[in-house]
Structure 1
Amino acid sequence: MLTGDQVRATVKEGKVKPGFITHEQDRYRERAEDILACVKASEQRRRGDIEADLEGILGDGIDRKLFDGLAKLVFDTCDFATQSPIPPRDLRQRVWLESARRGPLSVIAVEGVNTRDAVFAAVAAELGVQPDGLAEALYADQPDEQRLTICDAGDAQWLIDRYNLALVQALLFSAEHVDITVGAPTPARARQLLRAVKFNQLCFTAEMSGVDLKLRLDGPASCLSQTTKYGLAMAKFLPTLVLQPIWSLTARVQVKRFKPLLSVDHTLGLRTTTKDTGVYETREAEWFRERFEALESGWVLDRDPTPLMQGPDGVVVPDFSFRKGGRVAHLEILGFWRKGSIEKRLAAMKKHGPKNLVLAVSKRYCVEEAEALPEQIVPFAEVIPAKQVLERIELIARKVG
């Protein structure tokens, strides 16, 4: 992810235009190649040393913000590790205690006065290691001192594609609502997108407009708490949207003191390295599935159900469907949602159904409307009670076919 000060965008006539770049722009491609080469050649080097080398590449010109963003995205793919014979915090304590025990220290050798090297030698003997390197290991847990172990970044084209997508992700952090249209999606594409929404626990409404699927997502700025967590979830969802053949997204975002309209779509050529798959399962869903299957109830659990119509235009996306003896029921999990969004969902369910849908609702957001649907609501804290869900689906399942 890009930080706020790394976002390049211009505002004009109430609209915001992200500062996209292309592989055909030589100075950007070449600088991306230089950044990647510097980091990838730095295995086992200290982060501080790598960043110092990058300073010469990033420069201080008008494109510094862009190059800082490219470097940030490369570092996001890296793993840095602390290398020390013992945890540095414990090592510091041992060194300080030994220093205090020995009294005043001298920087240079003075007869009768202990030196820094003598302290390290004593601590090394106590630990059974060589004193060489102890001074370096003393603060090895500090970010600048950690050493690069893995860099999973791709090539320059990968970095430019990642940068362009990251610009949109960063701008969406300040959105209150995000409106999405997917043009005439196939059933598989619709399931893929809606499962990604569910997997990232985004608050949403969905409806069909002719053959197009329309979504409205609550944006990070609509959350009263956990804004960063929700913003990251929104960012993780965006690559799946980009996989759709025909799509568009609009949102009001905050850029300095303005709230311009962000508008992006498939014609901009945004690309992602996210695998083109629709198999997502949240922790809550995984825990529920394991516990439900352990009941051996005879109900066949389907992890990839078809979205259901709700009224003339609405769409509901179950997390699971259950089938047994020609009867069918569904379960939708509402976890990381706002109270207002759940109230709207329950009101729509009361009016339009489906009557064979069970809602598992976080106890944090159980609202009064739930009392009007006692047969279809199962409150939960961390783990969805499988037995209660089984009782509900036995009660409300409908004959099909």
Structure 2
Amino acid sequence: MLTGDLLRVRFRKGQIQLPYIDEASGDHLGVAETLIRAFDSHIGGSRQELDEELADITGAGTEFLFHRGLSKLLKDRCTFAAASPVDPVELRSEIFESAAAAYRNTDQVRIDREAVLAEAAKSAGIEAKEVDRAFYADLKAAERLETFKSCTPEWLLGRYNVALAQAVLFRATELDLHVEGETPARYRDLFRKLKFFRLLHEIRQTGPGKYHIRIDGPMALFKSSQRYGLQIAQFLPAVLHCGNWRIAASVNWGARRREGVFRLTPETGLKPIGPSTGQWIPDEVAWLEERFGRLKTVWRMTAGSEIIDLGGQGVLVPDYVFTHPAAGTKVYLDFLGFWRSAAVRTRLDLLRRHGPPNLILAISDDLAVDDESSSGLPGEVYRFRRTPVARDILGILDAMTAKTPGESPATLDLFDH
């Protein structure tokens, strides 16, 4: 995304306005194409060489911030690495020691630089001509451009406009998102991304197929605001895949934290910057799915596909559903998201009043939820430390079905509602 120094915002009657660029402009497309070509041609070259050419292209005219912004987005698509056949630190140490020894040698009138470098090359097992390049290969300017994920000029200009909006949301104190008329699959994708990007949020259904989502912004937090701001930026592209939505964000802008409201709607013209990727799964949850698949059990684990209304005051989008084919039993597994302590209490109270009885609520110890706070919940509570354990989940599933002795597995209908 773009940093604050790469854009200028305007305030008009308390509203924040951005200098979106015309994505169809021939001049803008030409600049984008020139910059993309510069990156393509410098694969294998040094970062310093690339920066020097970019400086020549961007110049210092009225479009300076726009040009630098495009360059920043293209650099985000690069990987740089130190390219050296030997450890530059060890090589420098050996050269400096050899030079110092030569300086102390009173038989020499002057230090023979080439001889020192040749000796270091021989010791390191490299060619003498490689020494100069390897000498400072670990410095940032000397890093080599290993890969560049190229793109079209049209995509880059669209990405730039989205990045402008992301940079403003990075400084939001709160964000209100209204969405309506989407398919259940689209809502599931949106709600899951809220959760797995660990955004502090509340979801309320305001009508058939209509939802109001309130998200705490990074400027409302006391810590981790930078990381949290990046997570909000990552969430915005998911909204752009929706058709009928609007965002109103309260923002504190600049060093003086000037207050303003930032609004986005489909009429703003921002376009999705990539395909909808579906559910994003944290590593620890993906690890659970993999491990559960290795267990010898009749239970089947699949990604959740339902949106469960919680009394009109929120929704539950289970992460996984476990089914027992013979019994026809269905159990939801949901991981309690990243919440403030007050929001945790509110969420648990909502689940206590409206949560489904066939629910396993997984709570990380990092959330510091005590036994009293989690008592009285429907279904079962599963606590874990760093990662959930598949065998523990299986034990809970078996225990839940065992709570109805006397009913045969074929007729067990404990959890349907």
Unaligned runs of 5+ in 2: 402-413
Is the Cα–Cα contact under 8 Å of residues 104 and 113 in structure 1 kept in the other structure?
no
Q: Equivalent of 1:349, from 351, 361, 374? A: 351
Is the Cα–Cα contact under 8 Å of residues 219 and 225 in structure 2 kept in the other structure?
yes
Question: % of aligned pairs identical?
Answer: 31
Aligned twin of 2:253? 255
Q: Equivalent of 1:242, from 240, 243, 251? A: 240
Is the Cα–Cα contact under 8 Å of residues 251 and 262 in structure 2 kept in the other structure?
yes
Supply the distance in 2 between the matched residues of 1:387 and 1:221 (Cα, whole angstroms). Answer: 40
Secondary structure of the residue aligned to 1:379 is strand
> Relative to structure 2, which stretch is displaced further, 183-192 or 292-301?
292-301
Secondary structure of the residue aligned to 1:399 is coil
Secondary structure of the residue aligned to 2:253 is coil
Q: Equivalent of 1:385, from 359, 383, 389? A: 389
Supply the distance in 2 between the matched residues of 1:311 and 1:144 (Cα, whole angstroms). Answer: 58
Is the Cα–Cα contact under 8 Å of residues 171 and 254 in structure 1 kept in the other structure?
no
> Relative to structure 2, which stretch is displaced further, 244-253 or 17-26?
17-26
Is the Cα–Cα contact under 8 Å of residues 221 and 227 in structure 1 kept in the other structure?
yes
Superposition deviation, residue 163 in structure 1? 0.7
Matches within 5 A, 1:183-198: 183-198=180-195
RMSD of Structure 2 on Structure 1 (CA): 2.3
Aligned twin of 1:128? 125
Distance verdict in 2 for CA 1:8–1:376, change over 3 Å: farther
Letter in 2 for 1:376: E
Superposition deviation, residue 224 in structure 1? 2.7
Is the Cα–Cα contact under 8 Å of residues 356 and 393 in structure 1 kept in the other structure?
no
Supply the distance in 2 between the matched residues of 1:395 and 1:160 (Cα, whole angstroms). Answer: 56
Letter in 2 for 1:400: D
Q: For this pair of structures, how many residues does the alignment match?
A: 398
Is the Cα–Cα contact under 8 Å of residues 350 and 373 in structure 1 kept in the other structure?
yes
Aligned twin of 1:399? 415
Letter in 1 for 2:251: V
> Relative to structure 2, which stretch is displaced further, 127-136 or 71-80?
127-136
Supply the distance in 2 between the matched residues of 1:204 and 1:302 (Cα, whole angstroms). Answer: 25
TM-score, length of structure 1 as denominator length:
0.92
Aligned twin of 2:3? 3
Supply the distance in 1 between the matched residues of 2:341 and 2:90 (Cα, whole angstroms). Answer: 46
Aligned twin of 1:370? 374
Matches within 5 A, 1:2-401: 2-103=2-103, 112-210=109-207, 211-256=209-254, 257=256, 258-324=258-324, 325-368=327-370, 369-373=373-377, 376-395=380-399, 398-400=414-416
Is the Cα–Cα contact under 8 Å of residues 104 and 114 in structure 1 kept in the other structure?
no
Supply the distance in 2 between the matched residues of 1:202 and 1:373 (Cα, whole angstroms). Answer: 23
> Relative to structure 2, which stretch is displaced further, 370-379 or 323-332?
370-379
What is the CA deviation profile of residues 177-232 of structure 1, one whole-angstrom value per residue up to 9, with x for unaligned ones? 22212221111111121222233232222222112122222222233322222222
TM-score, length of structure 2 as denominator length:
0.89
Superposition deviation, residue 122 in structure 1? 0.6
Distance verdict in 2 for CA 1:372–1:224, change over 3 Å: farther
Superposition deviation, residue 145 in structure 1? 0.9
What is the CA deviation profile of residues 333-388 of structure 1, one whole-angstrom value per residue up to 9, with x for unaligned ones? 12543323222211211222223222212212132412444963222221113344
Letter in 1 for 2:231: A
Letter in 1 for 2:191: L
Is the Cα–Cα contact under 8 Å of residues 355 and 378 in structure 2 kept in the other structure?
no
Secondary structure of the residue aligned to 2:312 is coil
